[in-house]
Amino acid sequence: EFYVNSAEDGSRGSQFGDMNLTADNTAISLVVDYPLNGSWTLNSQLQWITASRNSNSKMGPEQLDQDWQFLIPKLGFVYSDTPDLRLFINLSGSREVPTFWEIVQPDVPPLAPLPGMASLSLNKLDDQQAVTLEIGGKGRLGDTLGWDLSLYRSDIKDEILSVASTFGVIAESSNYDNKTVHQGVELGVYGQFPVADDYVSFRGAWNYSDFYFANGVFDGNRIAGAPRNVVSGMINYHRGAFAIGASVYAQPDDNYVDHANTLKQDAFWLLGLTLNYQPTPWIRLYANVNNLGDQTYNASYVVRDRSTAAMPTFLPGNGRSFNGGLVLSW
């Protein structure tokens, strides 16, 4: 159901849409894992998928029934000669059908939400197709360090992109009319080491995302909405039932917020402190300080084909904050 909301207090107004939405998904999979020798295993899979997205208006003639059928193959190899090391390589296909969020498109002017100005349309979309190569592994170096690593590249056709209107609301979803590429690195490290009778634990992650338009109207531009680099981590000093630590979350690059690459989200670094007291396995007390430096930053944004500084685009992040609590586990 779709209603116009009041521009003054956000209360519900007149109804302008009522949709009957039905989604069906069926998947049949054939999986073959075949050991080649003591260290190598062949992984293969073939999936047959059928999907439907049917949209019918209860208040008007709007109707859109969409059906898809496709085969999805996957071929990979896994190498593991010890419990502390596992390497893999996969080549796979994928198909992503649209959601009702992308199919059903309400349009209500935010500055004058009158019932007569509100409309609802149904958006016919193709499924998003991709071929992905992924290489990676995970392992441990003694009792001190563990790691997970994945490198990937997806060549995509008909990527489904959703963009916002001038006012900052989602206005349209469409298939990009040419090829796009998603490639990147995902790295995680974790572990602990002793310090006298105490110990230090740590965990960190780095995500590198190089998403770009390979052809078409935005040829060579970065796809907005995916920060190029995201870094996070924490380190804790443990002594008995107490632990004190520090954390970091950062987007160290300025990132484009529109596909035309005209406006950027500024880089930011956020630091935090935490204190934990856990006298038993089922009771934990904690206190946190977030955004220790009280940095002003934009936490999120809406994506458009083209944005200007005058448009409402960014949502601010929280300033310095304090919180604490009690956790009970059983």
C-alpha pair distances (Å), 222 with each of 58, 210, 237, 238, 297: 40, 8, 40, 43, 21
Dig out the tokens for 133 from the structure.
């190569």
- C-alpha gyration radius of the chain: 25
Q: Is the pLDDT of residue 79 over 80?
A: yes
Closest of 158, 292, 151, 262 to residue 209, by C-alpha: 151
Cα–Cα distances in Å, from 46 out to 153, 155, 194, 327? 20, 19, 47, 44
Banded pLDDT at 58 (limits 50, 70, 90): confident
Amino acid occupying residue 321: S
- 244-268 residue pLDDT tens: 999 999 999 999 999 999 999 999 9
- % of the chain at pLDDT higher than 70: 97
- Residue 130 in contact with residue 140, Cβ under 8 Å? no
Q: What is the pLDDT of residue 259?
A: 97
Residue 104: count other Cβ atoms within 10 Å of its Cβ. 21
Q: Which residues contact 116 (CB under 8 A, 6 or more apart)?
A: none
Return the bridge partners of 290, or none: 321
Work out the pLDDT band at 114, boundaries 50, 70, 90: low
Q: What is the pLDDT of residue 116?
A: 63
Name the strand (E) or helix (H) holding 100: helix 100-103
- The rounded percent of the chain whose pLDDT value lies above 90 is 81
Amino acid present at 91:
L
For the ranges 193-197, 230-234, 309-313, the maximum mean pLDDT occurs at 230-234
* Mean local confidence (pLDDT), 264-275: 98
Q: Which domains does the chain have, with CATH numbers?
A: 126-328 (2.40.170.20)
Q: What is the per-residue pLDDT for 265?
A: 97
The pLDDT of residue 171 is 74
* Alpha carbon distance, N-terminus to C-terminus of the chain: 41
186-219 pLDDT per residue, tens: 999 999 999 999 999 999 999 999 999 999 999 9
Compute the average pLDDT of residues 71-75: 97
